[in-house]
Amino acid sequence: MPVQAVPTEELLRELARPDQERWVRLERQILRRWARSGSAAIDYLYGRGQAALHTGQAEDAIAHFSAVIDHDPDFAEGWNGRATAYFMINRLGQSLADIEQVLIRNPQHFGALAGLGMILEQLDRPEEARAAYQASLAVHPHQTSVLDAVARLDLATAGAAL
């Protein structure tokens, strides 16, 4: 008898537990699921975009992710990959627009929420950045870089209040 796959929603519920010790494994499972479009052709294009991102070739990544979006605009990871590539080359407005598309399709995308926080922080909008980071942490409370960002914003806000 085949083993039933745990629904992604259940994995997200488990990941959200602050006392979760297996969070790295859960995060990997969720990211793997999100990275599967259901089409071998789209997955191939997506993989090419990811490879370009990992080698710092943002323009190539944008081209691959744009092709993914053209063929399957409902695949949130295509938008997320392109948002990341735009961020890498400091095209923040385009990155924000793509993050919005990710969150329309996957409101629990903790990576997109964290990316939104990073951009808002760069744009000197600390309150909005903190809210985005907190939304990311509500889904995935184990993200060290996001916890550090919230602490940094809290420290900056406390310093400004003095």
CATH number at residue 132: 1.25.40.10
Q: Looking at residue 38, what DSSP letter applies?
A: S
- Does residue 72 form part of some domain? yes
Give the distance between the most distant pair of CA atoms in the chain.
64
**What's the confidence (pLDDT) of residue 160?**
55
**What's the confidence (pLDDT) of residue 159?**
62
- Domain count within the chain: 1
- Does residue 20 form part of some domain? no
- Does residue 23 form part of some domain? no
- Does residue 123 form part of some domain? yes
Residues 6+ apart with CB under 8 A from 113: 103, 132, 133, 135, 136, 139
Instruction: Please give the chain's pLDDT, 162 residues, in tens.
Output: 444 577 899 999 999 999 999 999 999 999 999 999 999 999 999 999 999 999 999 999 999 999 999 999 999 999 999 999 999 999 999 999 999 999 999 999 999 999 999 999 999 999 999 999 999 999 999 999 999 999 999 998 876 554
Domain that holds residue 79: 39-161
Distance CA 6, CA 59 (A): 36
pTM of the model as a whole:
0.92
- Does residue 120 form part of some domain? yes
